[in-house]
Amino acid sequence: MSDFKRQHPISIFVSFFGNLKQMIITLIVLFFFGSSQTRGPWFYFLVLGALLVFSFLSGFLHWLTFRYRLDEQELHIRQGLIFRKKRYIHQDRVQSIDLNAKLIQRMFNLVEVRIETAGGGDEPEFRIIALNKEEANDIRNELLYGKKKRETEAPDSDGNSVLSEEEIDEETVSKEPDYTWKLSTKRLITAALTSSGIGVAATFVAALFSQVQQFIPETWYETAIGFVVESSVLFILSFLILVLVIAWLIRIVSTVLKYGNFSIEKTGNDIVIARGLLERRQLTLNRRRITAVRLVQNVLRQPFGYTSVYVESAGGGTKDEDLSTILIPLCKETEVKAHLEKIVPDFAFERPLTGLPKKSMKRYMVRLTVPAVIAASAITYFFDYGAYSFAAIIVALLMGYWQYKDAGIGVNERFLWMRMRKFARTTVIVPKKRIQTVEVTSNPLQRLNQLTTLEVSILTSITGKTFSLRHLSKQQSMNYYMWYSYEHSTKYNEETKS
């Protein structure tokens, strides 16, 4: 049994710069959007200095009081100065282990260990923010493979090493990877050029443009505003296009940094996903903990037949990916089955879809068109040239029809799959045994047309996730409800086979 250890001292600066990063964002927001200019600059320097000192002391105290010890099958942690806490992480509770290396950690050949556990309550995730790679790998190997390795090495009554029956399929201790895949440079550039999320970046760029007046003389600003007011619609559209182009370039750079050097290695049931240029991340997932697979095609990728593949799992999801884990950032839709056969073979099969009834088409189109009509009417009333906004009604009608045509659902004995669209087209594949609940709901407008919404919930990181398909016929929803119901599943399977 080893003694308790502290993290590498550089963790003090990792914590410090992490807090500083959060403060910088706060200060930028206050600087750009704050209205108080009554206090002199010395006040802000004093506040900033106090925050920096507090942040450094906080990092130092965390390093001083945080200690850990790795035992067989368990990680012990002690932390806290005033309120002391002990935590034990047993390997049976580990959902995923993530090794991250941000820029400052890479400078000192360190990594951050992030462990996600089941049943962690409000603390499902645990972090050790600065360890050398050897110690981090020891923790990872002990919590992932320690039990298997000991059972592998444990002798039987004749003195021979044996594997228990449960571990026969777990050839993960020292075996070479079963499957490896890397995102090529060409695919990375294509993924960057066709990435979504441009709206968030555009909002950020527009916010920066809106604050430009604080940095230029007032006469210049008034001249610029007068020029814009007197300019044509074409000029204003050009300005909007400029904002979108800048936002698009930001998304390209962020995508390249995020998915650069992306690779997958599968060994036994363990899937190791590595990615990142500045921040290097290595995530280890267990194939058996995957609760769903999602295929996502945004409007830029769909015409070229490209798709992204995500997995939902009990652990490993990130907030910036909606608590999912990206398995393949970009591949051809025709290549998905081959990849799934190698990585998660249970999910690799043909998925014929049953479309929705024709009466649901009206619901999809009306649902988008009504808000467009209201918005266009208001814009026309208050603004010149507002009548052009009625073109949005045509877009809404087409989008509603597109959503209807893409929607579909299907099942076999073990899986349910649904396809739906908001802007991007999403296909979700869920094993029957991973479904937590199936609900059939209907609102008054749906009941007028005998339509329903089918909702399927699964377990993912921290909380569950629900996928819904709108405007199925009542008979369709009942069929899939019976498919899930244990009471009716036998009858359903017999009817399907006959």
What is the rounded average pLDDT of the residues 368-384?
Answer: 86
The rounded distance, in Å, linking the Cα atoms of 147 and 90 is 11
Q: Which of 439, 419, 436 is nearest to 428 (CA)?
A: 419
Interval 379-416: pLDDT, tens = 888 877 778 888 889 999 999 999 999 999 999 989 99
Q: What angle do CA 141, 6, 13 make, to 5 degrees?
A: 105
CB-based contacts of 365, cutoff 8 Å, min separation 6:
396, 397, 400, 401, 404
Mean pLDDT lowest for which of 164-178, 236-250, 393-407? 164-178
**What percent of the chain shows pLDDT beyond 70?**
75
- Name residue 101's beta-bridge partners: 280
d(CA 469, CA 359): 15
Burial 323-342, CB ≥16 within 10 A → b, else e? bbbbbbbbbebeebeebbee
Query: Which element (helix H / strand E) includes 102?
Result: none
- Sign for the CA dihedral angle at 141, 142, 147, 150 comes to positive
Least confident residue range of 33-37, 253-257, 315-319: 33-37
Q: Position of tokens 């990728």?
A: 301
Give the strand order in the sheet containing 464-473. Answer: 435-441, 451-459, 464-473
Helix (H) or strand (E) holding 276: none
What mean pLDDT is reported for the chain?
A: 80
Q: Highest mean pLDDT range out of 56-60, 113-117, 225-229, 397-401? A: 397-401
Residue 219 DSSP SS3? helix
Chain segment 175-218, per-residue pLDDT in tens: 678 899 999 999 999 998 888 766 565 566 666 665 555 556 66
| Residue 284: per-residue pLDDT | 85
**pLDDT number for residue 31:** 58
β-strand partners of 310: 294, 326
Spatial separation of the C-alpha atoms in residues 399 and 422, rounded to whole Å: 9
The C-alpha atoms of residue 403 and residue 410 are separated, in whole angstroms, by: 17
The residue type found at 485 is S
Q: Indicate left, alpha or beta for 160 from its phi (over 0: left) and psi (-120 to 50: alpha).
A: beta
Phi, psi torsion values for 219, nearest 5 degrees? -65, -40
Question: Which residues sit opposite 469 in a β-bridge?
Answer: 454
What is residue 154's three-state secondary structure?
Answer: coil
Beta bridge partners of 126: 115
* pLDDT at residue 278, as a whole number: 84
Q: Which residue has the tokens 């490993």?
A: 316
